[in-house]
Amino acid sequence: MNLTNLFKIALKALGNNKFRGFLTMLGIIIGVAAVITMLAIGQGSKRSIQAQISEMGSNMIMIHPGGERRGGVRLSADDMETLKIEDLEDIGSQAGFVTYVSPAVNSSGQAIYGAHNTPTTVYGVNRDYLEIRRYRVEDGDVFSDRDIQTAAKVCLVGKSVVDELFPDGQNPIGKVIRFGSIPLRIVGVLESKGYNSMGMDQDDLIIAPYTTVQKRILAITHLQEIVCSALAEDYTEQAIEEITSILRDNHRLRPGDEDDFSIRSQQELSSMMTSTTDMMTVLLAAVAGISLLVGGIGIMNIMYVSVTERTREIGLRMSIGAKGRDILAQFLIESILISVTGGLIGVVLGIGAAFLVNILASYPIYIQPWSVILSFAVCTVTGVFFGWYPARKAAGLDPIEAIRYE
């Protein structure tokens, strides 16, 4: 009938028992706060992993020599030299879904400049590598194609290497450092990328023409790795198919033969990692959801007790003209008010707790608007669902008996 009046009646009834109302709310408050915080943490780590992966190049594809490893057993050394520069050239010219392609050979060692030295890794690549791994040159320039042809003794250095070798803040461009015994002239400095999701310093590297590393440092002719990037992350599958058929062709593998190379994609890695965090989110949310359920049962319990306690009041209301549905509405509104108020407080607390986690534990969080709306909606539904049975009981009372109830 008159909803405003029913609201007033319900508010008044709750006001008569504030402390109990608060205790009932507590279950909902904790439940909602838990849901919000857990989802914020789950989504936060997912987002940060996704961001780091896309920073590394989410469309990156890595080709290694040798077939799939089985049970951790490495295949024979012959297999490890299957990738040649021709493979790279063919992928570059034939694979339509591949945009950039670069060889990669690397060697770990000591970088030295004057009295300073630091352990690092030199990567022998071509100019595409910077595009694939999303490195940008901050200062100076990339080595030229000619440098590659001539296996020139030039290099680009990451920020961490610069910091170690030039602690006094000298301009590193044009300086000649040594990697092991090979002198390399710095032609550019890379923009800092920080640490990746595995905690590796992405600025601790030297980049040189692959020919230089192959001939002058490693003395090999094969490639340790080929990295390329697909047109876009969504074309990774097609790019891998193309690469596979080109390489099988080049290596003269017959149908039925095992691949003598293996292909990994960042997308594969990314979906593996996000599925892990997704599962974590689901688990956290499930635990939080259970506490919300417990909160709901708390409401039902209290409303049930309240109906019994207020039997006479219900009888009186009916005798002065309240219909069954008025009583039903009153008790439903009471339980919805409890759950919605609890939900509101819970949302605020949950967001607060999430930020606290972020500040104190410096854990990434992300509060998704839908998670707030959802838990709020669940609260209201909880109020209706768990308030329904007690309210029905109240509405079904016989006024004559109710008013005499002791």
Partner 1 sequence: MKEIIRLEDIRRDFTVGDETVHALRGVTFTITEGEFVTVMGSSGSGKSTLLNILGCLDTPTSGDYYLDGVPVRTMDKNRRATLRNRKIGFVFQSYNLLPKTTAVENVELPLMYNPSCSARQRREKAVAALEAVGLGDRLMHKSNQMSGGQMQRVAIARALVNDPAVILADEATGNLDTRTSYEVLVLFQQLHAQGRTIIFVTHNPDIARYSSRNITLRDGRVTGDVRNHDILDAARTLASLPVEED
In the complex, the residues that contact partner 1 under the rule CB under 8 A are 1-2, 5, 8-9, 12, 16, 312-313, 315-326, 399-400, 403
SS3 400: helix
> Cα 390–373–275 angle (5° rounding)?
115
Max CA separation in the chain (angstroms):
105
Question: Residue 264 in contact with residue 61, Cβ under 8 Å?
Answer: yes
How far apart are the C-alpha atoms of 43 and 357, rounded to whole Å?
A: 13
* Distance of closest approach, residue 383 Cβ to partner 1, in angstroms: 22
Please say which residue, 289 or 324, places its beta carbon nearer to partner 1.
324
Instruction: Give the nearer residue to partner 1 in terms of CB position, either 9 or 156.
Output: 9
The residue (of 112 and 316) whose beta carbon lies closer to partner 1 is 316
In the complex, the smallest distance separating the C-beta of residue 395 from partner 1, rounded to whole angstroms, is: 11
Q: Are 124 and 255 in contact (CB under 8 A)?
A: no
Shortest distance in whole angstroms from residue 43 CB to partner 1: 45
Q: Which two tokens stand for residue 273?
A: 């990692």
| Backbone phi and psi for residue 49, each to the nearest 5 degrees, phi listed first | -65, -45
Least distance from C-beta 399 to partner 1, angstroms? 5
Q: How far is the CB of 378 from partner 1 (least distance, A)?
A: 32
Q: How far is the CB of 318 from partner 1 (least distance, A)?
A: 7
Show the tokens assigned to 389: 């049975």
Nearer to partner 1, 9 or 394 (CB): 9
Closest CB to partner 1 among 174 and 321?
321
- Pick the closer one to partner 1 by CB: 297 or 400: 400
Residue 63 and residue 247: Cα distance in Å, rounded? 10
Measured CA angle at 244 (ends 239, 245), to 5 deg: 105
CA dihedral 15, 17, 18, 20 (to 10 degrees): -150
